[in-house]
């Protein structure tokens, strides 16, 4: 589990296709210090397992399933990726609960600087809009962010200077794909409600009874 607070921006060294996915090598200076084989690292918000460690880089095997759902398949040498180590039990949960299980990709359609802050707008597929609410949490390339508003399929997000300078958002340009993980609590709520017969819910007491017996 992760918090969506990026620890370091790493640099892609290689992204080599294999018969069952890809092998990704990422240069890192900070998080490599106490990382060992088998550890989980969020790379652009995707939970990956460290399979090899070089002097200044970590190596991951990426499955075809992960490639099909994320922007990892587009990575090339010199690209920048957000890195975060798995949460320790004793750590503060400064962002929100991020599993590292990417749901889909979104497209950057607008990027604008306003004062010291930045406004980013991303377009998502319509089927995912029920999972997005104003002032709710969302993970974009593994970054815990707050949604300003959503209009149709476009999500607007304000990015503070610290986040902009310490993540790969500063390298993003219009048309780039980003990985999206929706709030896990919201996903469970939507999943539950879609199984309920909402026509039977007449009162709060009835809803409470249905949820209790679900």
How many of the other CB atoms lie within 10 Å of CB of 120? Answer: 21
Q: Domain of residue 66: give its range.
A: 8-85
Query: For the chain, what is the domain count?
Result: 2
Does 131 map to a domain?
yes
The pLDDT of residue 50: 96
Question: What pLDDT score does 197 carry?
Answer: 60
Do 72 and 139 fall within a single domain? no
Q: Where are the alpha helices (DSSP H) in 5-125?
A: 64-69
Instruction: Please check whether residue 90 is in contact with residue 97, taking contact to mean a CB–CB distance below 8 angstroms.
Output: no
Q: Residue 211 has what pLDDT?
A: 55
Q: Is 47 helix (H, G, I), strand (E, B) or coil?
A: strand
Q: Is residue 186 part of a domain?
A: yes
Q: Enumerate residues 6+ apart whose C-beta is below 8 A from 174.
A: 108, 109, 110, 111
Query: What does the radius of gyration of the chain's CA atoms come to, in whole angstroms?
Result: 19
d(CA 97, CA 116): 28
What CATH number should be reported for the domain holding residue 74? Answer: 2.40.30.20
State the sign of the Cα–Cα–Cα–Cα dihedral 67, 177, 162, 97.
Answer: negative
Residues 124 and 75 in one domain: no
**Do 61 and 131 fall within a single domain?**
no
In a structure prediction context, what are the per-residue pLDDT tens digits for the chain, which is 214 residues long? 888 899 999 999 999 999 889 999 999 999 998 899 999 999 999 999 999 999 899 999 999 999 999 999 999 999 999 999 988 766 666 667 788 889 999 999 999 998 999 999 999 999 999 889 899 999 999 999 999 999 999 999 999 999 999 999 999 999 999 999 998 888 887 777 776 665 555 555 555 565 566 5
Q: What is the pLDDT of residue 185?
A: 82
């Amino acid at each position: 589990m992760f918090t969506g607070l990026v620890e370091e921006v790493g640099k892609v060294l290689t992204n080599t296709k294999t018969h069952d996915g890809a092998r990704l090598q990422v240069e890192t200076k900070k998080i490599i210090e106490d990382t060992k084989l088998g550890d989980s690292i969020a790379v652009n918000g995707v939970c990956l397992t460290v399979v090899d460690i070089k002097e200044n880089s970590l190596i991951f095997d990426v499955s075809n399933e992960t490639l099909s759902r994320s922007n990892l398949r587009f990575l090339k040498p010199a690209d920048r990726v957000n890195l975060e180590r798995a949460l320790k039990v004793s750590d503060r949960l400064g962002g929100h609960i991020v599993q590292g299980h990417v749901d889909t990709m979104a497209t950057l359609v607008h990027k604008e600087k306003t004062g010291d802050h930045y406004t980013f707008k991303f377009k998502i597929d319509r089927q995912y809009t029920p999972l997005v609410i104003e002032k709710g949490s969302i993970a974009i390339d593994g970054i815990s962010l707050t949604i300003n508003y959503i209009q149709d399929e476009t999500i607007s997000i304000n990015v503070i200077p610290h986040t902009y300078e310490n993540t790969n958002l500063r390298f993003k340009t219009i048309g780039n794909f980003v990985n999206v993980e929706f709030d896990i609590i919201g996903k469970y709520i939507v999943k539950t409600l879609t199984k309920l017969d909402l026509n039977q819910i007449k009162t709060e007491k009835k809803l409470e009874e249905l949820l209790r017996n679900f």
